Amino acid sequence: MPRPLPEPATGPATGPLSTGSPEGDLLDGLLSPLMDDFSDWLQRGQVLLQHCPEAVMPAAERQALAESLEQALKDVAAARALRAAISTPMALDMESLAPWHQLVLRVWALASRLRQAGIVVPAAP
């Protein structure tokens, strides 16, 4: 989950980190697109599952993946909300990012399996 930067965190001549600080801007510049990518790929996984036949992935595996994707989307939304709710820059722990990354890899693998099976899936909006 998100965690604040260690205290006391100060910039060279800027004092404590705050919204609009170079460090905070850099952190936001890195994390915002990353979280957007996670959301996009997790949602894409949901679309892929809607078009996934039993021959490509058994129903139980599809259900488990669907539940994991839904939970991960909630977790990403919660991380965004926490970061937005505080006035100091907040990083995300690698323990939070790693499961999302693993799910994105599973989505890519599913996309590959669907493509190999000749299943046409609508393009992402």
* 30-54 confidence digits (pLDDT tens): 899 999 999 999 999 999 999 999 9
Other C-beta atoms lying within 10 Å of the C-beta of residue 16? 11
pTM: 0.80
Mean pLDDT of 61-86: 95
Phi/psi of residue 93, nearest 5 degrees: -70, 140
Tokens read off for 35? 């979280």
Which one is predicted more confidently, 9 or 51? 51
Give the mean pLDDT of 1-23. 49
Which of 8, 4, 44, 41 lies closest to 24, judged by CA? 4
